[in-house]
């Protein structure tokens, strides 16, 4: 699969891009360079050609918002709501989620796209399944869905506590490490996604990316943005 930082194709006419450190810290509230977060997001919006980025306050939960019209106002979380995913059918809206070791995932179906933030809590709780459900409800009931798994903590580096291993019943455990990417792939396939692809990049050991595990509070945020043609 193509590398992060390149435009990738989704089913149904959608596109996605996984950002790197070169795109800047996309967060306005944390990490070095956060004061330039809005500017980094504006540059990303221009790169996609979208009228507006679609985002929310991420809380490691299971909510995936459905947006079917262009919201008013400037770059800001839509309605100030809390959600860990955004799905839309609106051309000109570009769903985005931020991450710094959690998995950013793009989903695309016929005329519908989504961006989903999947840390271990959300992954265990079913946030990816909620993302697939959102696409189905917004019009992709019968069509193919593509899922792209972006850069996140890899099996090579992600040492997890017993609480994390227990949440997945010991699946994909490798000593004290856990393979979130394999878990995400399994869940997406089980949810009916036939085409699951992976950029296979570990944020902890690959310094092209921000990593909270590696950098602590200094870590910025990369993410994934999706958009329709």
Read off the pLDDT of residues 82-95 as tens digits, 9 standing for 90 and up: 999 999 999 999 99
Distance of alpha carbon 174 from alpha carbon 172, whole angstroms: 6
Q: What are the φ and ψ backbone dihedral angles of 113, each rounded to 5 degrees?
A: -140, 165
Q: What pLDDT, on a 0 to 100 scale, did the predictor assign at position 140?
A: 66
Q: Are 167 and 60 contacting, i.e. CB atoms less than 8 angstroms apart?
A: no
Q: Which of 107, 100, 158, 157 is nearest to 136 (CA)?
A: 107
Angle at 8 between CA 4 and CA 13, to 5 degrees: 160
Residue 174 to residues 52, 71, 164, 169, 187: CA-CA distances in angstroms?
Answer: 41, 45, 13, 13, 19
pTM over 0.85, yes/no: yes
Q: What pLDDT, on a 0 to 100 scale, did the predictor assign at position 77?
A: 59
Query: Do strands 65-67 and 85-88 pair parallel, antiparallel, or not at all (unpaired)?
Result: parallel
Q: What pLDDT, on a 0 to 100 scale, did the predictor assign at position 58?
A: 95
pLDDT at position 55 over 80 = yes
Average pLDDT of the residues in 72-81: 60
Q: What pLDDT, on a 0 to 100 scale, did the predictor assign at position 186?
A: 98
Length in residues, the chain: 229
DSSP 173: E
pLDDT band at 202 (very low <50, low <70, confident <90, very high): very high
pLDDT single digits (tens) 135-171: 999 986 778 999 999 999 999 999 999 999 999 999 9
Of the candidate CATH numbers 2.40.50.70, 3.30.300.30, 3.60.140.10, 3.30.70.890, the domain formed by 8-228 belongs to: 3.60.140.10
pLDDT band at 74 (very low <50, low <70, confident <90, very high): low
Average pLDDT of the residues in 68-84: 73
pLDDT single digits (tens) 89-132: 999 999 999 999 999 999 999 999 999 999 999 999 999 999 99
Burial class of residue 85 (count of CB atoms within 10 Å of its CB; 0-12, 13-18, 19+): buried
Distance of alpha carbon 224 from alpha carbon 179, whole angstroms: 20
Q: What pLDDT, on a 0 to 100 scale, did the predictor assign at position 79?
A: 46
């Amino acid at each position: 699969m193509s590398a992060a930082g390149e435009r990738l194709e989704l089913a149904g006419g959608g596109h996605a891009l996984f950002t790197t450190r070169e795109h800047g810290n996309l967060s306005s509230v944390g990490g070095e360079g956060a004061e330039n977060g809005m500017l980094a997001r504006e540059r990303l919006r221009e790169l996609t050609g979208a009228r507006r980025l679609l985002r929310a306050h991420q809380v490691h939960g299971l909510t995936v918002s459905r947006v079917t019209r262009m919201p008013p106002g400037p770059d800001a979380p839509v309605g100030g709501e809390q959600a860990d995913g955004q799905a839309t059918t609106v051309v000109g809206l570009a769903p985005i989620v931020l991450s710094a070791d959690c998995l950013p995932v793009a989903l695309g179906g016929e005329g519908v796209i989504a961006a989903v933030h999947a840390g271990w809590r959300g992954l265990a709780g079913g946030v990816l399944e909620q993302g697939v459900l959102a696409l189905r409800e917004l019009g992709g009931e019968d069509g193919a869905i593509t899922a792209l798994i972006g850069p996140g903590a890899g099996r090579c580096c992600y040492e997890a506590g017993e609480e994390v291993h227990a949440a997945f019943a010991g699946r994909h455990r490798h000593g004290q490490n856990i393979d979130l990417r394999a878990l995400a792939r399994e869940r997406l396939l089980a949810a009916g996604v036939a085409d699951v692809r992976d950029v296979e990049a570990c944020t902890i050991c690959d310094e092209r990316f921000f990593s909270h595990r590696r950098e602590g509070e200094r870590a910025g945020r990369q993410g994934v943005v999706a958009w329709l043609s």
